[in-house]
Amino acid sequence: MSLLLGDTAPNFQAETTEGKIDFHDWIGDDWVVFFSHPADYTPVCTTELGYTAKLKDEFAKRGTKAIALSVDPVEDHHGWIKDIEETQGCKVNFPIIADTDRKVSELYSMIHPKADPKVTVRAVYIIDSDKKIRATFTYPPSAGRNFNEILRLIDSLQLTSGYKVATPVNWQEGEDVIVVPSLSDEDATKLFPKGYKTVKPYLRVTPQPNK
């Protein structure tokens, strides 16, 4: 069965480029971007992992860290990291799991046999500090992911976890947000001292509350 939003991210132990880890212990009190890539020494993955490394400070601002996975062995990962650092102009600063027996890939439904039974698809799991799965999406091996969107998604998830708001289409950090429909006007007035605008009874807009 596929993992669903709100499920606890399954724990596992695995070898990585930074040594053996227990996943839940490694998460600690952080949020996590856990993502798979089809194989080492492949062009799209090379660009993705390089860009992820460049986002370390942006992830850190959000109390978030990254961890990648492929079914190739650690030795291949280390060799490939040299290529990533050379071609992408960065230092790979996060662990890459060596899932040679595919146990983790199968646990997280990263193998899609009708796409390719030998490699993982480009799956992404956003996991919060309580080890809960907050978001997930999957791309085919041929399409590189947009990691700026991952940052935007984390911003939305963390904001809406702390306030009774939702984020509208194409929302960016600092823009107005939507008051959740379940909140009465009276309670909204108390919770949002900056005020809100009623576009429709079910569509009320307020400035981002933590700004």
Which residues participate in catalysis according to the annotation?
45
CA–CA separation, 149 and 171 (whole Å)? 10
As given in the structure block, the two tokens for residue 130 are 């309580």
Query: What angle do helix axes 43-54 and 74-88 make, rounded to 10 degrees?
Result: 70
CB 194 within 8 A of CB 166: no
State which H helix or E strand residue 150 sits in. Answer: helix 147-162
110: helix, coil or strand? coil
Residue written as token pair 């809960």: 132
